[in-house]
Structure 1
Amino acid sequence: MNEQPVKTVATGSLRIAFLDYGPSDGWPVILSHGFPYDVHAFDDVAPILAGAGARIIVPYTRGFGPTCFAADAIMRSGQQAVRGRDIVQLSDALGLERPILAGFDWGGNASCVVAALWPERIGGLVSYAGYDIIDVSAQRRPSAPSLEHVCWYQHLFQTERGRACLAEHRRDLCRMLWEEWSPGWRFDQAVFDRTAASFDNPHFVDVVIHCYRHSFGLAAGDPALDSLEQRLAQKPAIAVPAVTLDGTRDPLKPGGTSDHSRMFIAAHEHRVIDAGHNLPQEQPSAFADAILKVREWL
């Protein structure tokens, strides 16, 4: 596909860099990536949606690529509430009318946060890994040893040694995660390098480390977001039309998330796809089809 020019827009705390596909008057979609990925996870998803008349916005999340903070004094937070708020502020800045949100990993988490806290602002949701809102209190309790083993990077990031490891070896570490989380996906070095350039953002390490320390309950969040985090801790149901997805070969989600269905109280469908964790890049047609299904319900 043709290389898309990077655009930027100012929000309250960020200058968000993003890609913009499709007609300017198309039905709006925001596609949100996770860690350690970037906008290129959706390179093959966006053209499918553009062909169906959508306008697709694909932002670099805070700490990735050209997205930058508006001032030095702004906290380099990676917590879920701020990443959800970033999506709302991006939508407002671009004048989008109730976009469909779709994402995976951090992007699925942030999209679910918006759907739970600001349902009136969006049209619908596609979420990889079901109801993907972080339960910070539950994170203080252990998982099965097999899952703790898969989440080695989260434990590493709780230490200053882990911060240094990410800072000094970010590309090697992130490529390991790609390989571990998508065991059936064959990608070449050029595909990885295209995304890995986003990890050179000067605030990448700070945002990533804060995200995982906050989610473990071991780092304070932005005090201005405490009320939002308290609302998320109540596990609010999602009341917008939603398609949720699981990858059969994702070691981070053993057994899948079909049991999350009770958390979706509007039109909802759960799909299981033959893929690993990076479903949009491994199975772009399946990811796009989930968004088109939500569009049918609106």
Structure 2
Amino acid sequence: MKSVSAGVLEIAYTDTGPADGIPAVLLHGFPYDAHAYDEVADHLAAAGVRSIVPSLRGYGATRFLDETTMRSGEQAALGADLLALMNALGLERAILGGYDWGGRAACIVSALWPERSLGLVSCGAGYNIQNIAAAGTPVPPEEEARYWYQYYFHSERGRRALEDNRRGVCRFIWQLWSPSWAFDDATFERSAASFDNPDFVEIVIHSYRHRFGGIPGDPAYAGIEARLAAQPDIAVPAIVLLGGDDGVDPPGAADPDAPHFSGPYDRRLVAGAGHNLPQEAPEAFATAVLDLVRRT
């Protein structure tokens, strides 16, 4: 992997494909890592697209430049990290793609800085910008049950479990969220090494507590959070991919996200894929990126 100083981080990333190709910045989620895009990057390189895949804050070899920086996992921090990475690499514009935490970062930059986004691929929660003001509103009980891990992480018991048995917790989540994905031990362990990052637990816990309004965020990102509270629309061309077997965010017949997309928008169901869609269905993800490339 390469690395670059960007904002508050030294960000580790892979860079695959022709240096002069249209760039695509692809971002992983929790609890996964940059390996989620290994096959996607190969598909895109064959089509002349440059893929940049960073390790998010708290994952892999990415590190904070200053020990005193708050280890925030809030959505605004993820968006700011992505923008800082693009600036550090000299990317004026790029296709932005991701799922889970990474999809949130891609949505944020596409919404707040649309001039930097050539198009968006967002998996699972298509409009992946948190409405923290409404976080206290109950949802149907079957949906609440799928969020057990979030409530678990609100407790010190959950924090200790993640600290002491991060591989066990994360592997269980992989199995629940992708019930039809027959990943092997080697595949999991390759990604699990990223969870040994010294900031992993603190950032994960902060993320899940902050999104419910339970703890404050980093004051450095208050301005971004204020803009996100308005739930801004996404005007860039967007493709939303939904895993038909997603165990935490199963697709429904209705599309509640569509009103937030004011530009060209396509919603696609990917049969046989779960939550980690780029790794489970790399061709479908690569196809979505290439469809956006053709619009440029």
What TM-score do you get using the length of structure 1 for normalisation?
0.96
Are 1:217 and 2:210 matched, yes or no? no
4+ runs of 1 displaced by more than 2 Å? 254-259
Are 1:114 and 2:109 matched, yes or no? yes
Question: Residue type of the partner of 1:263?
Answer: H
What's the CA shift for 1:32? 0.1
* Alignment partners' CA distance in 1, 2:2 and 2:10: 10
* Alignment partners' CA distance in 1, 2:250 and 2:23: 32
1:176-231 C-alpha deviation (Å, 9 max, x unpaired) = 00000001110100000000000000000000000000111111001121121111
1:45-103 C-alpha deviation (Å, 9 max, x unpaired) = 00111111111100000000000000011110010011011011101111113010000
* Alignment partners' CA distance in 2, 1:120 and 1:285: 27
What percent identity do the matched residue pairs reach? 53
**2:57 aligned counterpart, secondary structure:** coil
The residue that corresponds to 2:265 in the other structure is 268
Are 1:208 and 2:204 matched, yes or no? yes
* Alignment partners' CA distance in 2, 1:259 and 1:135: 14
Question: Residue type of the partner of 1:20?
Answer: D
**1:92 aligned counterpart, secondary structure:** helix
What runs of 5+ residues in structure 2 fail to find an aligned partner?
none
Question: Residue type of the partner of 1:176?
Answer: F
Which shifted more, 176-185 or 137-146? Answer: 137-146
* Alignment partners' CA distance in 2, 1:101 and 1:132: 13
Which shifted more, 218-227 or 57-66? Answer: 218-227
Q: RMSD of the alignment, in Å?
A: 1.0
The residue that corresponds to 1:172 in the other structure is 168
* Alignment partners' CA distance in 2, 1:59 and 1:88: 12
From 266, 275, 278, give the equivalent of 2:276: 278
* Alignment partners' CA distance in 2, 1:59 and 1:258: 30
**1:240 aligned counterpart, secondary structure:** coil
Q: How many residues align?
A: 293
What runs of 5+ residues in structure 1 fail to find an aligned partner?
1-5
Question: Residue type of the partner of 1:287?
Answer: F
Whether the aligned pair in 1 keeps the contact of 2:96 and 2:117 (CA below 8 Å) is yes
The residue that corresponds to 2:4 in the other structure is 9
Residues 189-208 of structure 1 aligned to structure 2 (within 5 Å): 189-208=185-204
* Alignment partners' CA distance in 2, 1:122 and 1:150: 32
What's the CA shift for 1:259? 2.6
* Alignment partners' CA distance in 1, 2:67 and 2:251: 43
1:10-33 C-alpha deviation (Å, 9 max, x unpaired) = 012000000110011111000000
Whether the aligned pair in 2 keeps the contact of 1:130 and 1:258 (CA below 8 Å) is no
What TM-score do you get using the length of structure 2 for normalisation?
0.97
The residue that corresponds to 2:248 in the other structure is 252
What's the CA shift for 1:255? 3.5
Whether the aligned pair in 2 keeps the contact of 1:83 and 1:110 (CA below 8 Å) is yes
The residue that corresponds to 1:288 in the other structure is 286
* Alignment partners' CA distance in 2, 1:198 and 1:253: 24
Are 1:104 and 2:130 matched, yes or no? no
What's the CA shift for 1:293? 0.9
What's the CA shift for 1:295? 1.1
Whether the aligned pair in 1 keeps the contact of 2:242 and 2:251 (CA below 8 Å) is no
